[in-house]
Structures are given as structure tokens and as C-alpha cells.
Amino acid sequence: MEWYLKVVRDNYANFNGRASRQEYWMFFLFNIIFAIVAGLVDVFLGLGFVYLLYVLALFIPGLAVGVRRLHDVGKSGWFLLISLIPLVGAIWLIVLVASKSNPGENLYGTEPK
């Protein structure tokens, strides 16, 4: 939960720097859990807007942590757009965000560990 709050509270729209694998995947995990909970609240309470508000509120931090994760492996944030290539793009993006960090300093800053 600490990593999720770090992304949402401290780095809401921060596209600069680097994000470790742990920061990215913990944010991803909690984001999926909270999205499912928001969807269930919509279904059971019949509200219809909780999930939409959650997705809209977390769109920018999700992009920002993805860009920072790509910076950590030495790629530009624009590599997020490879996910638009059907099937192959999504697989390639998963491989990139699951890769080990570039050790030391790179073009985007120092190693986040």
C-alpha cells in the first residue's frame, strides 16, 4: 500500500525520473484491486459512476509510473505507445516493465533503489 500511495500522493503527475520494478508492480496490483472494488460497488449499489471516477482519477498517475518505469530500463516514455500494436505490443511492453533496472545512473536519473 505504501508504494501505491507514493505514486498517487507524492508523484501524481511526475513523468521525470525513474521507478523501480517494485514501485511499478505494487502500484499495478493495488490499482487492479481497487478498480475491482469500485466496479463491485457500482454493481451492488447501482451507482454507475464510482468505477468511472476511480479510472479517471488514476489515469495520470498510471501513465506517470509507466513512463518512469520505462525510464528505469533506459527507454523513452513514448514506448508506452507500443501497446497499441495488437498482441505483440502488449507483450513487448510487459517484457520491458518486467526487466531489471539499468544499474547506476542513466539519461533519466539515478537508480531508484
- Note whether residue 110 is domain-resident: no
Confidence of residue 86 (pLDDT cuts 50, 70, 90): very high
| Residue 113 confidence (pLDDT) above 90 | no
Task: Bin 100: left if φ > 0, else alpha if -120 < ψ < 50, else beta.
Answer: beta
What pLDDT digit, counting tens, does each position of 20-40 carry? 999 999 999 999 999 999 999
Position 54 scores a pLDDT of: 96
- Domain range for 8: 2-98
- In a domain? residue 90: yes
Q: Report the mean per-residue pLDDT for the chain.
A: 93
Q: Which pLDDT belongs to residue 13? A: 93
With respect to residue 107, please indicate whether it lies within any of the assigned structural domains: no
* Per-residue pLDDT at 46: 85
Q: Which distant-in-sequence residues (6+ apart) come within 8 Å of 101 by Cβ?
A: 18, 20, 21, 72, 73, 111, 112, 113
